[in-house]
Amino acid sequence: MTTYILLRDRSGNWRRPSVSLGPRIEPRNPARPAEPFIEVADLSPGDLRAAMRDEAVLTASPAMPTRLISPAPLDGLRDDSAEAGWGLRAIGADCTPLCGQGARVALLDTGLDAAHPAFHGVTVTGRDFAGTGLEDANGHGTHVAATILGRDLGGVRIGVARGVTELLVGKALSDNGLGRSDDFLNAVLWALQEKADVLGFSLCFDTVAHVMALIEEGYPQSLATASAVHAYRGNLRVFEMILDMLGGDSGTLILGAVGNDSLRVISEGFETGPAAPAAARGVLSVAALGREEGALTPAPFSNLGAALCAPGEGVVSAAMGGGTRVLNGTSMAMAHVAGIAALWVQRLHEGKEAVTALSLAARLIGGATRSGLGPAASRVDIGHGRVQAPR
Chain segment 144-188, per-residue pLDDT in tens: 999 999 999 999 999 999 999 999 999 999 999 999 999 999 999
What's the confidence (pLDDT) of residue 31? 85
Q: How far apart are CA 87 and CA 76, in angstroms?
A: 19
User: How much of the chain, in percent, has pLDDT values that exceed 90?
Assistant: 81
Domain ranges of the chain: 2-62, 65-207+251-382
What's the confidence (pLDDT) of residue 81? 56
CA 67-387-70 angle, to 5 degrees, is 15
Active-site residue, selected from the candidate residues 116, 140, 143, 210: 140
Q: Which pLDDT band, with edges at 50, 70 and 90, does 18 fall under? A: confident
Active-site residue, selected from the candidate residues 174, 262, 317, 331: 331
- The count of C-alpha atoms lying within 13 angstroms of the C-alpha of 120, restricted to the half-sphere facing its C-beta, is 6
Known catalytic residue: 70? no
What's the confidence (pLDDT) of residue 373? 84
- The pTM score is 0.95
Q: What is the pLDDT of residues 60-87, one digit of tens each?
A: 999 999 999 999 886 555 555 578 889 9
- State the DSSP code for 81: G
Residue 22 has pLDDT above 70, yes or no: no
Q: What number is the average pLDDT over the span 5-18?
A: 89
- Count other C-beta atoms under 10 Å from residue 180's C-beta: 24
Which of the residue ranges 59-63, 92-96, 291-295 would you say has the lowest mean pLDDT? 291-295
Is the distance from CB of 353 to CB of 96 less than 8 angstroms?
no
- Count other C-beta atoms under 10 Å from residue 222's C-beta: 8
Computed on alpha carbons and rounded to an integer, the radius of gyration of the chain in Å comes to: 20
Q: Which pLDDT band, with edges at 50, 70 and 90, does 233 fall under? A: very high
Known catalytic residue: 331? yes
**Length of the chain measured in residues:** 391
Nearest partner of 146 among 156, 159, 135, judged by Cα:
159
Contacts of 210 (CB under 8 A, 6+ apart): 64, 65, 227, 228, 231, 232
- Count other C-beta atoms under 10 Å from residue 297's C-beta: 18
Pairing, β 203-205 against β 65-68: antiparallel
CATH of domain 65-207+251-382: 3.40.50.200
Q: How far apart are the first and last CA of the chain?
A: 56
Could you tell me which residues are beta bridge partners of residue 124? 167
Q: How far apart are CA 122 and CA 166, in angstroms?
A: 6
What's the confidence (pLDDT) of residue 74? 64
Q: How far apart are CA 320 and CA 137, in angstroms?
A: 7
Active-site residue, selected from the candidate residues 109, 113, 136, 206: 109
